[in-house]
Amino acid sequence: MKTIKLKNKQINYSILIGNGIYKSTGSILKKYLIKKRVFIICDLVVFNLYKKNLSTSLKRSRIEAIFIPIKVDERKKNIATVSTLSSKLLSFNIDRKDTIIAFGGGILGDIVGFTASIILRGVNYIQIPTTLLSQVDSSVGGKTGVNSSYGKNLIGTFYQPKLVIIDTDVLNSLPRRELLSGYAEIIKYGIIKDIKFFRWLLKNGYKVIEGNNNAKIYAIYRSCIIKAQIVEADEKEQGIRALLNLGHTFGHAIESLNEFKKNIIHGEAVAIGIRFATKLSYLEGYISNLDYNKIVSHFNDIGLKNTLPKNLNNISAKKFVSEMLKDKKAIDESLTLILIKRIGSAFIKKDYSQKKLLKLFKEITK
Ligand code: GLY
């Protein structure tokens, strides 16, 4: 099992990465719990697949487990779901010595983390992410939240978990499409911070998608190390943490304009967003033709296509850009974008003019 420590003045927790470790959740958890009672909030699919093993492990360690399965998707990632979940937890008389566990993908983790941060003004929580995307991104770093009709993730908190348990075993039941969606976030780390990792991905990325265990562990480990370093330096996204948003302002606009329909899932929208950001970086003269082609070819080779949903094919630049402006990062009508200088080095471009983006929109998105 590999361990990454996330530590600065305010934060101190571990990310454990291994194969089959969720089966030892009980013995792992013992030292993290104040009281031996946990509320396990999981999505229905995860509940049906893993409840038995998890319950057995917790029972062995004499930990009382209350499972709360909930149905989640991007459209249910809202304040109403948080309210229902909070009532459920309160109906069990949850107290501040209890621990909440988010056992599921990124949407579930964001909802549960947010609920944990506000219920009784904050109860300890642990993330056990079950999708590649949540393992390499959303379960680490303490961003929690839900969507609003005004945009994605606009209601939320920074609230760090006490522990993250990443088990590559649970990825075996994931459809290829979900793995690819998570892989988009993995490539992101190579592009923004680590050319060596990017080169490793060019050679070995397909093994991650094919389920090679060593490749999965390495890709997740490397991604989490990069994320941990960035979060340690800038937990509240006052500076470099914004690099992690490469492609996301474009991606969130795609998801919102598509009304969060399932023909495009989060990582797929991010993948398209990263392509748009790469193209914009090229058109602006920041990135070389060579690096541009390397990034785009890898997306193509791995199977992350550049296909906007049909209904967005002819979307006007104006509509798209005004959706981008709903992003949290937009300030006073100007955009903050993450652009790329070269593979392994991204930067924050503040005050990117709307007019320029409108002009280049056709070129970026073709
Ligand atoms: N997903 C981007 C971040 O955690 O900052």
Contact 92, 117 (CB under 8 A): no
Tokens for 114, please give them: 């947010």
pLDDT above 70 (res 110) = yes
What is the pLDDT, as a whole number, of residue 149? 87
At 313, the pLDDT band (50, 70, 90 cuts) reads confident
What is the pLDDT, as a whole number, of residue 329? 61
At 218, the pLDDT band (50, 70, 90 cuts) reads very high
- Relative to the CA of 141, which ligand 1 atom is closest? 4
pTM of the model: 0.95
Least confident of 219-228, 272-281, 355-364: 355-364
Contact 287, 349 (CB under 8 A): no
Contact 108, 77 (CB under 8 A): no
Share of the chain above pLDDT 90, in %: 86
At 5, the pLDDT band (50, 70, 90 cuts) reads very high
Ligand 1 site residues (CB inside 6 A) read 137, 141, 143, 241, 244-245
Over residues 186-216, the pLDDT tens digits come to: 999 999 999 999 999 999 999 999 999 999 9
Q: Measured in angstroms, how far is the CA atom of residue 125 from the centroid of ligand 1?
A: 18
Over residues 69-87, the pLDDT tens digits come to: 999 998 999 999 999 999 9
pLDDT above 80 (res 27) = yes
What is the pLDDT, as a whole number, of residue 182? 97
* CA distances for 314 relative to 127, 249, 310, angstroms: 40, 19, 8
- Relative to the CA of 140, which ligand 1 atom is closest? 4
* Mutate which of 227, 243, 348 for ligand 1 pocket (most atoms within 8 A of beta carbon): 227
CA distance 267 to 184: 6
What's the whole-number mean pLDDT along residues 177-182?
A: 96
Q: What SS3 string covers the chain?
A: CEEEEEECCCCEEEEEEECCHHHHHHHHHHHHCCCCEEEEEEEHHHHHHHHHHHHHHHHHCCCEEEEEEECCCHHHCCHHHHHHHHHHHHHCCCCCCCEEEEEECHHHHHHHHHHHHHHHHCCEEEEEECCHHHHHHHCCCCEEEEEECCEEEEEEEECCCCEEEEEHHHHHHCCHHHHHHHHHHHHHHHHHHCHHHHHHHHHHHHHHHHCCHHHHHHHHHHHHHHHHHHHHHCCCCCCHHHHHHCCHHHHHHHHHHCCCCCCCCHHHHHHHHHHHHHHHHHHCCCCCHHHHHHHHHHHHHHCCCCCCCHHHCCCCHHHHHHHHCCCCCCECCEEEEEEEEECCEEEEEEEECHHHHHHHHHHHHC
pLDDT above 80 (res 331) = no
What is the pLDDT, as a whole number, of residue 79? 97
What's the whole-number mean pLDDT along residues 247-252?
A: 94
Which residues are the active-site residues? 121, 143, 185, 227, 237, 241, 245, 248, 252, 266
CA distance 209 to 69: 28
Q: Measured in angstroms, how far is the CA atom of residue 161 from the centroid of ligand 1?
A: 14
pLDDT above 70 (res 38) = yes
Q: Determine which residue's CA is closest to atom 3 belonging to ligand 1.
A: 244
- Residue 279 pairs in a beta bridge with none
What's the whole-number mean pLDDT along residues 341-361?
A: 94
* CA distances for 199 relative to 41, 71, 120, 283, 299, angstroms: 38, 38, 46, 24, 13
Strands 163-167 and 12-18: parallel
Q: Measured in angstroms, how far is the CA atom of residue 132 from the centroid of ligand 1?
A: 15
Least confident of 163-177, 180-194, 313-327: 313-327
Q: Measured in angstroms, how far is the CA atom of residue 134 from the centroid of ligand 1?
A: 11
Structural domains of the chain ordered from first start: 2-173 (3.40.50.1970), 176-365 (1.20.1090.10)
When the pLDDT of each residue in the chain is averaged and rounded to a whole number, the result is 94
pLDDT above 90 (res 298) = yes
